[in-house]
Amino acid sequence: MSPGPVPRTDNDQVLVARVQAGDRAAFDLLVRKYQYRIYKFITRYVRDANLAFDITQETFLRAYRSIRSFRGDSAFYTWLYRIAINASKNHLALEARRQESALVEDGEREAANSLEGLQSLETPEALLISEEMRQVIVQAIQELAPDLRMAILLREVEGFSYEDIAETMNCPIGTVRSRIFRAREAINSRLEPLLGGGGN
């Protein structure tokens, strides 16, 4: 089941209004519309399929509990992603307290395949990207600070605009641009030796 492009928001506004009026079936439609996209996004961020499933459920539960306070100042999907990000961060903090090393195993190959299309890497070499290069990209992203990792995933994997990322991450667009630039720099610096760009 393909997630397709980011859905248009006019239908969301209608569905949200119905949920706020007490229509639970309308919320089920929103869940069906976004559950795959939210799950895949969380999987790339926490890199554990089971944990991602739990966080996805928690995201929609939190959204349902809070939807009456949603005023439509931002698109519904950016509001939903913000809830997913906060839930993910909370779970990662809990996991880190229990054991630090168990966060980065599941979904590694999935993330690598999704990241082949990084816009900053659309060069002839990137079109022939190798398994080794995919591993380097995954490793580089794993090592990014959480805010940089979140920004680059929202931009390059989820296809969010800078405005939507700013809305989702609750920060100015200038900060978003800076985070994406720094993330791309870190990834490119790891790829340079493989692309033959690290000459002495």
> What is the per-residue pLDDT across 128-170, written as a single tens digit (0 to 9) for each?
546 677 778 888 888 888 889 889 888 888 888 889 899 888 8
Res. 119: pLDDT tops 50: no
Q: Are residues 20 and 88 in the same domain?
A: yes
pLDDT at position 133 is 73
Share of the chain above pLDDT 70, in %: 73
> Do the beta carbons of residue 93 and residue 146 sit within 8 Å?
no
Same domain, 100 and 80: yes
Look at residue 61 and tell me whether its pLDDT is greater than 80: yes
Whether residues 142 and 191 share a domain: the answer is yes
Residue 100 predicted with pLDDT over 50: no
Asked if 154 and 170 sit in the same domain, the reply is yes
* Pairwise pLDDT comparison (163 vs 9), residue with the higher score: 163
User: DSSP assignment, residue 121?
Assistant: G
* 121 and 185 co-located in one domain: yes
Judge contact between 6 and 77, C-beta under 8 A. Answer: yes
User: Within this chain, do residues 94 and 114 fall inside the same structural domain, yes or no?
Assistant: no
Helices (H), 107-152: 108-114, 124-127, 131-142, 146-152
Q: What percent of the chain has pLDDT over 90?
A: 24
Q: Are residues 112 and 168 in the same domain?
A: yes
* pTM, 2 dp: 0.66
CATH number, domain with residue 152: 1.10.10.10
Examine the fold and report which residue of 85, 106, 127 is the final residue of a domain before the chain moves on: 106
In CATH, what number is assigned to the domain containing residue 4? Answer: 1.10.1740.10
| Arithmetic mean of pLDDT over the chain | 78
Q: Measured between alpha carbons, how far is residue 112 from residues 30, 86, 105, 170, 181 in Å?
A: 28, 24, 12, 27, 19
Residue 161's CB: how many other CB atoms inside 10 A? 14
Closest CA to 74 of 31, 16, 33: 16
In a shared domain, residues 42 and 98: yes
Are 116 and 29 in a shared domain?
no
Q: What is the rounded CA–CA span in Å between residue 56 and residue 172?
A: 26
Domain termination residue (choose one: 106, 129, 162)? 106
pLDDT for residue 115 is more than 60:
no
Q: Is the domain of 41 the same as that of 1? A: yes
Same domain, 101 and 162: no
How many structural domains does the chain have? Answer: 2
Angle of helix 24-46 versus helix 49-66 axis, rounded to 10 = 140
Domain region containing 69: 1-106
Report yes or no: 144 and 183 within 8 Å, Cβ to Cβ. yes
130 by Cβ neighbours in 10 Å (0-12 / 13-18 / 19+) ranks as: exposed
Q: Which of 73, 89, 106 is the last residue of a domain?
A: 106
164 shares a domain with 112: yes
